[in-house]
């Protein structure tokens, strides 16, 4: 069903065409944009934010977000060293990257990139 959303970030949604009236919205008094999404995510043309397009998933298909904690589901050898990150190692405060198959994180103070297929959200 067609609806109209504010692109100013206020989250305004209307069933009829109109203007955003939210105080403090950068798009206040700007016309709503037409949208006909069914998932409520209001995909909007011209919205090039990578965050809204890429969905990063762990090995179980659960969505991962910045700041999530994950555990390794596999022993992962660290390239260029003899160290191995053990299965079950917990990693806090992950950061998404531009690549939906990889996340940035820190383990024992080292910045590393992990493949999401070896991770499980906790």
Q: Give residues in contact with Zn ion (CB under 5 A).
A: 6, 8, 10, 12, 20, 22, 25, 27, 35, 37, 42
Question: C-beta of 54: minimal distance to Zn ion in Å?
Answer: 19
Residue 114 CB coordination number (10 Å): 20
How far is it, in rounded angstroms, from Cα 92 to Cα 71? Answer: 9
Complex with Zn ion: residue 2 or 87, whichever CB lies closer: 2
Question: C-beta of 103: minimal distance to Zn ion in Å?
Answer: 28
Question: C-beta of 57: minimal distance to Zn ion in Å?
Answer: 22
- CA end-to-end span of the chain, whole Å? 36
| Beta pairing, strands 102-107 & 95-96 | antiparallel
Complex with Zn ion: residue 35 or 105, whichever CB lies closer: 35
């Amino acid at each position: 069903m067609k609806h109209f959303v504010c692109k100013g970030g206020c989250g305004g949604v209307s069933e009829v065409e109109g203007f955003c009236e939210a105080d403090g919205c950068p798009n206040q008094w700007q016309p709503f944009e037409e949208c006909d999404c069914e998932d409520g995510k209001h995909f909007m043309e011209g919205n090039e934010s990578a965050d809204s397009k890429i969905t990063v998933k762990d090995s179980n298909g659960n969505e991962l977000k910045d700041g999530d904690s994950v555990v390794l589901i596999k022993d992962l050898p660290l390239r260029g060293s003899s160290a191995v990150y053990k299965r079950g190692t917990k990693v806090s405060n992950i950061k998404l990257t531009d690549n939906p198959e990889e996340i940035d994180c820190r383990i024992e103070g080292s910045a590393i990139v992990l493949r999401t297929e070896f991770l499980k959200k906790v």
